[in-house]
Structure formats: structure tokens, C-alpha cells
Structure 1
């Protein structure tokens, strides 16, 4: 959140007329985002274990146990997911070149993309939001005497959180690109939701760290291909 407030907010709002000094806007934005992050972290810690969603390596660290064995099992699915995510985003950008052109030349510092995209967004969207959606759906389904939720609940939570993940990118995209268009909205939501499906599946099947690895690798590949 510090990286976003310090580096990303001034980049996004550069040239805009602001009612307050940039440093005040940056601090306020960072505090607001930090509160949302804390809420998501708390929601995930309370709700994820109850529906069988895990962050095994982080849980091992929190319990003062060795985390490497837990993390080692997530490297391969994370790498596969990262390569798939990068291929999806690159392909969608090529197919929607006209819409994506509105963001041509707009970049955020790599440290922001890695820290916020790779870590913070996964805590917000997968650990917090997706866990809460799965828990709420299972409660609404009255659990039907099962110890764990059925697969359809996770698929709905994956799809719902992926869609909201895509929508969540719109404010920053509009600030960077100026006047929005229907094509830009479809591109931003569709591209990010496509990756959200990959990350959500990894979280469900392998753990939060696998989704983080995939997210980090996706940004690394895209930076290498399209610096």
C-alpha cells in the first residue's frame, strides 16, 4: 500500500486538477486502501478455513513451523498459472488492440505491479472476497449436511470474485486513459476477469501462495514481452 500511495497515485493523477495537495491525496488513498486490505485479511483468516480454502505456507509461518515444504508444492501450479495468465492477457490485448490502445504508453512502476498486483490484490480478492463469497453461498445453501462445500459453490465464488476483480480495475484505467468507452470497459473487465479465473482456481486447489506466484509471474512475463 505504501508503494501504491508513493508511486502509483501520483502517476495516475499526474496532470489532474486536485482539490488537495498530491501528498494529501496519496496519504488518504493509502490509508483507505490499507483499511480495505486489513478487512480482507481478517475476513479471510476467519472464513477461509471454514470452507477449506488455505494459505498453507503463510499459516505455517504464523504457527512458527517450516514453510518451505508447503510453498514447494505450490511452485509448479503457480508457474503454470502464471504462464497461462500471461498468455491470456497478451492474447486478449492483441484481440482488443483498438480498445487497449487507449492505455498505450501508460505504465506503472514494476515494483507497484509486483507488490500490489502479486500480493495485495490476492489478499483482497482471493483471500478476502472469494473466501467470503464461498462462505456466504455455503451458508445460504444450508450446508446440506456436508463437511465441505460442493464444487459449484467454489466455481460461483471464483467467477464472482474474478468479475469484481475486473470491475475494480476500471477507476484507475479511466483516470489513466481519460474518457471511457464501451470497448475499454469490456477490455479491462474481460482481461482481468480472465486472469481472475486462473488465480481463483489456483487458490481453491493449491492455496493462496500459488495464486500469488502466478500473479507475480504474469506481471514479470508481460513486462518482459511488453516493457
Structure 2
């Protein structure tokens, strides 16, 4: 293999950090930090599921506490797998979590974030505008009859903004880019723009498909308007987040996703 030099990115952007995890201990520290970063989102989404689970507790073969525990453990394990994949493969294809990596080795985080915050903020503004525009076009089946049943903001921020990015961008997109790099370039050189683009698109599509079960639960059925709305809406933002990850680093995608939910929430 011929991985990119530390500090480079898959698109050839300006370096955003000076350190990549180079030892097993450093990789374990990065994995632990990222897993802990995504864990509050796991707790938040399980907490949000408590009311519907409690309402249907009589239908479950296990006690409510066991259902809740298993649900949380399942998501936490998936998060651990995604984090592990990213920590293992990201340095090989020029992807990184530069701010977290800098913090773990005692380097200043501010200079690293300066290269990420503006693209992240612009991505968040674009995402919030997109979410607001989409909400005007949402199928009736996806509009909650009771506004109080909508997903709490804390879940959108912690799970949607952070945990989803670790699962989809850090885990899935990194894996897609590594596979494309190995297949198209035999693992040599830095991933080309076409390989990066395919990884961004595929991960955005998978990100969108992952929202279909929740849409089905809300709408009752996956009709064509519901599927089209969910796919178009989420693929578009997935492309933005994927580009930010490839170009600037994981934290830029995190900033954009969190900010998109934060700014759009009062408007929806």
C-alpha cells in the first residue's frame, strides 16, 4: 500500500493537521475518543424511544428495561464498529479527524479548527435552508399530527449531528473510499477525485436509505412520494457532509450537521 502522507486529504486540499495516529496505542486512543463522542447520541435516541416502547411494552417478549438495554447496546456496538473501521482505514486514504487527533497528542486544536469551521458553518447554513425548504414540500404522511411527537432537538443534535456522522461518514464512507481505492487503483497513490466522488455519493445514498425505516414508522407505508422525499432530502445533505469530510476532515461534517439541525429546528 502507498497511503497518503500525514496532513493530506483525499482531494488534495491544504493540510488541516500535522498528526495521524501512527501507533497502535494512538489508534486505540482515537477510537475511544470518537466512540465516546458518539455515545451521548446513542443515549439520546434510546431515551427518545422510551415513550413508544413503553406504550407497546405488552407486545414484547422481554421486559421493557431489557428491550431498552439491548437497543442501546446494539447501536453502541455498531458505533464501535464504524469507529474502528474509520480509525483503521482513514489514514490509508487521506481521511482524518484532525481536531480530535491534534487534541489527543497535545497539539493546539484552534489552528486545526480554523480550517474547518467556515466550511462547516457554510455547510450547516446550506443544510438548514435545505431542510426548511423541504419541510414545505413534505408529504402529508410525514407531517406529525401531534407536534409534541416530533423528534426532540437534543436527539437531532447528538444523534443526527454527531453519531450519524461517525456511523456514515467516518465508518461507511471511509470503507467505500478504501474499497474503491483498492479496486480502481490497486491501493497505490492517493485516491483520485473520481474514486472520492463515488465514495461520497454511495455513502450519501446509504445515509438516505438508512432514514427509510423511520419514515415508514411515521407514514405507515413507504409510498413513492415518501421514498422520493426521504431519498432526495438526505442524499443532498449527505453529499455536502461527505464533501466536507473528504476535503476538510470529520469535524467540518460534524459542524455542518449539528448546525443544520440547530438552525432549522425553530423553522420546522
* 8 Å CA contact 1:138, 1:153 repeated in 2: yes
Write out aligned runs for 1:40-119 (5 A).
Answer: 40-98=82-140, 100-101=142-143, 105=147, 106-119=149-162
Pairwise CA distance, 1:142: 3.1
CA distance in 2, matches of 1:134, 1:170: 24
Query: Which entry has the higher C-alpha Rg, 1 or 2?
Result: 2
Pairwise CA distance, 1:188: 1.6
CA distance in 2, matches of 1:148, 1:113: 35
Q: Secondary structure at the match of 1:179?
A: coil
* 8 Å CA contact 1:51, 1:134 repeated in 2: yes
Write out aligned runs for 1:179-218 (5 A).
Answer: 179-218=221-260
Pairwise CA distance, 1:127: 0.5
Residue 168 of structure 2 corresponds to 125
Q: Secondary structure at the match of 1:66?
A: coil
CA distance in 1, matches of 2:145, 2:95: 35
- Are 2:8 and 1:8 aligned? no
Pairwise CA distance, 1:97: 4.1
Residue 222 of structure 1 corresponds to 264
CA distance in 2, matches of 1:123, 1:208: 8
Q: 1:214 to 1:203 in 2, by over 3 A?
A: same
**TM-score normalized by the length of structure 2:** 0.77
Pairwise CA distance, 1:102: 5.9
Q: Which runs of 5+ in 1 are unaligned?
A: none
Write out aligned runs for 1:16-35 (5 A).
Answer: 16=56, 17-35=59-77
CA distance in 2, matches of 1:103, 1:78: 33
**TM-score normalized by the length of structure 1:** 0.91
* 8 Å CA contact 2:241, 2:253 repeated in 1: yes
Q: Which runs of 5+ in 2 are unaligned?
A: 1-41
Q: How many residues align?
A: 224
